[in-house]
Structure 1
C-alpha cells in the first residue's frame, strides 16, 4: 500500500528543518457525544456526501503539540496541511486563511508582505505535490471538486493590512491565488477601523477604493475582524455580497469580537453570508456560558431569526492543535479573539467543534436532530455561500 502523502514529503528531508512534534490529526480530545440517534447520524452523513459543504473559515493545518513552539514552527515558512484530516472532514471546500496574523517568518511583526507571500507560495508548493486537496479559484472549481470527491481550499487573508497603501497589491494577491480578504484584523489599518479601535472611524477613503478594486477583481470581502461601522460601510460600498466569515451575535454575549445586530443585518442586506464561529471563548451565550456546540448553535439560531436562513452558514475558525494554547502563545497579537467583559467558565476546547475533521459531521447531525429540513440544511452547509460566490467570483 502506498504511504499517504504528508506535507513536504517531496523534500525527502533535504532541508534538515527542525521537526517539532505536531498535533495528531485525530483523537486529540475525547469524541463528542451529541446524543444523536443512529438514524439521525445516518441522515447527516448522507447529506454531507450529497451536498456541497463549505466552511467559511478554518485553518486546516497542523500546529505543534506544544503551542509555545509555534513561532519557531512558523519561522520555517512551512505550515503542514492536514491532508488526512481533510479527507475525513466531509467538506467540499474550506476557506483557508493560512498563518494570518501569526505569519512572522522573517521578524516579530505580523502582516508583513514578504511573510504573507512566503506562506502563500509554500502552502501551494506543498499542495501541488498531491492530488486530493485542490486550490479553488472560481465557482466551477467547487463543483468539480465535489464531483471528483476532492477537498478544495479557498486561500484567504483575514486582513488587507499587507497591501499598505498600494491597491495594485490586491491584484498581485489575486494573481497568486487569494480569493477572499478581510478589511482589517482587529487593529486598524489604512482601509478602516478594526474591532480593537477605541474610536470607530469606519471605512476610510482608501478603504472605499480598495472595496471597489476587490469588486473589480472578484475578491470576496470579509468583515469579521473589522469594527461594526467599518463592516456596515463596506457592505454599503460594495456592489457584490460581502461575508462575515467567522463571527457571532453580541446580543448573546457582549464582547468586541462579536457583532451588533446592525452589522449582521448589513452583511445580509448586501446579499452576503454570516459564518458562525467556534473559536474558544467567543461565541458563548448566556444560556450556555461553558463554550460548546450548544453555545455556538445559540448564535446560529439568533442569526437565523435576525436575518433569515439564506444569509447564515458556518465558519468555525478551528485548527489541528490546542486553540486555547495558540491564543496564549500569541496573546498580544490575538487578544481580540477571546476578549470578554464578564466571567465565564474556561474550557480547554469547544466540545463538538474542536477541529475541521469533526465540525461538519457534528453540525449536520445537530441540524438533523433539531428538525431542519434537507433544503434548510443544504442552505446553511454550503448553498448560501455558493449563491453569494456566484455574484462575487467568475464562473
Structure 2
C-alpha cells in the first residue's frame, strides 16, 4: 500500500473563489464495504504476489462524483473540474489505471457530449491537476508505468471511450496523442465517422467506414491503442482485420450475460491480434463471485494470455448515476440485483482492486497466471501497440 502526498485535487487554487466546490462522495458512498476472506497463509501469499506483480486496471473512471448525484452532477460537470481522490486510490494495490475521463458526460460547453472542445477541456484539466501531485504519474509509455511502480506512485494512462470528436479530421488523432491520450475506442454505442456503434444497428451492421480504416491505421502509427468496447460486432471484426497492432476491449461483457454483450467471435478476433479483453463489473453481475465466473469464461474462451480486468467503476453512487442517465435518455433505469444496487465487492476502484487479487489467491491461481491477468498481459500488448 502506497501513501500519496498530501495534495488534493486543485489545491493550487482556492475552492469557492477560483472554482465552485461541491460536497463529493466518500469512499463507500453509503454502501457496506466487502472483503474477500483469506486464511493467514493466503494473506501472506497475497502480499508476496503484490510485491512482485504490476497491477493495472484496463478501464476505470477514477474520480469522485458529487454526494448528491441527482442534484449536483450536471453543475459539477459544467464546472469542468472533476476531482481525483488520490488517497482513496492509494489504498488499492494499483500501479497503473486507464483513466477514461468524463467521456460522453463531457458536457462542459455542450449538452450533448463528445464535442472536441469538451474533450480537450476534460483531458487537459485532469492533466493540470495530476501535474501538481507528486503521487500521480501521467503515463505515455510502458517505461512510465514501470517507473511509477518502482517509485511507489500511481500511473494514470489517459484514455477515451470513443473517437466521435475526431469527426472527419484525421490529424486530431495526432493532437489527442500530443495531449497524452494513449488508448481510444472507435465508437461509444452510437455510430460516428469511424464505425457503427453497438446500440446503433437497425437493418444492418455497417461496420468500419473507409475513414475508420484510415483512423485505425493512424492510431497504429502514432501510438494510440485501439479499443472496440461499445462498437458493433462487424466494426469490432473489421478493426481486428485492419489493425496492425494488438486490439483491446477494455471493459467487456459476454453475450448471454447481458443484453449488450459481445459475441465470442469478437473476443477470439481480439485475441488473434495479440490483444487483451478486460472484464467489466457490469450491473447485471450481482457480486464478485459472478464477476469472476465471467472472468473464467473469458479465460476458457481466449486463454489466460488475453484476459485482464477493466471493472469500469468510480467513486460515488454508480447506480444513482445510471438512473440519472436513464432519465436523460428516456430509458428504463437499472433495478436491484439480489436486493442490491451495486456489485458486491466491486463498488469502486479501491474495493475492486483490493478484492480481485484476493479472489485469485483464494482460488489457487498460479503465480504466473496471476501476474498475467493483473497486468502482465496488458503491458505485453501495450509494448507492441505503443
Q: TM-score, normalised by structure 1?
A: 0.92
For 2:53, which of 39, 43, 51 is the aligned residue? 51
Q: Secondary structure at the match of 1:10?
A: coil
Q: 1:248 touches 1:276 (CA, 8 Å); kept in 2?
A: yes
Q: Distance in 1 between matches of 2:175 and 2:76?
A: 26
Q: What displacement does 1:17 show?
A: 2.9
Q: Residue in 2 aligned with 1:11?
A: 13
- State how far apart, in whole Å, the 2-side matches of 1:3 and 1:266 are: 43
Q: Please, which runs of 5 or more residues in structure 1 have no aligned partner? A: 285-290
- Tell me if 1:387 matches 2:375: no
Superposition RMSD in Å: 2.1
Separation in 2, partners of 1:90, 1:243: 23
Does the CA-based 8 Å contact 1:293-1:350 persist in structure 2? yes
Q: Which residue of 2 aligns with 1:324?
A: 319
Partner residue in 1 for 2:82? 79
Distance in 2, matches of 1:120 and 1:213, equals: 20
**Using the alignment, how far apart are the partners of 1:378 and 1:157 within structure 2?**
26
Q: Secondary structure at the match of 2:12?
A: helix
Q: Is the 8 A contact 1:280 1:323 kept in 2?
A: no
Q: Is the 8 A contact 1:58 1:316 kept in 2?
A: yes
Contact 2:15–2:21 (Cα < 8 Å) also in 1: no
Contact 2:98 2:157 in 1 (8 A): yes
Match of 2:288 among 293, 298, 301: 293
Instruction: Give 1:358's aligned residue.
Output: 351
Q: 1: distance between equivalents of 2:16 and 2:66?
A: 21
Determine which of 117, 130, 142 is the counterpart of 1:127. Answer: 130
Aligned residue in 2 for 1:263 = 266
Corresponding residue for residue 283 of structure 2: 280
Does residue 218 (structure 1) correspond to residue 223 (structure 2)? The answer is: yes
Contact between 1:186 and 1:336, CA under 8 Å: does it hold in 2?
no
- What are structure 2's unaligned runs of at least 5 residues? none
Distance in 2 (CA, whole Å) between partners of 1:209 and 1:116 is 21
5 Å-filtered alignment, 1:149-188, equals: 149-188=152-191
Counterpart of 2:205 in structure 1 is 200
Query: C-alpha distance in 2, partners of 1:143/1:203?
Result: 34
- CA 1:82 to 1:294, structure 2 compared with 1: closer, same or farther past 3 Å? same
Per-residue deviation, residues 349-372 of structure 1 (Å, max 9, x unmatched): 111111111212211110011110
The more displaced of 84-93 and 40-49 is 40-49
Choose from 284, 306, 310 the match for 2:301. 306
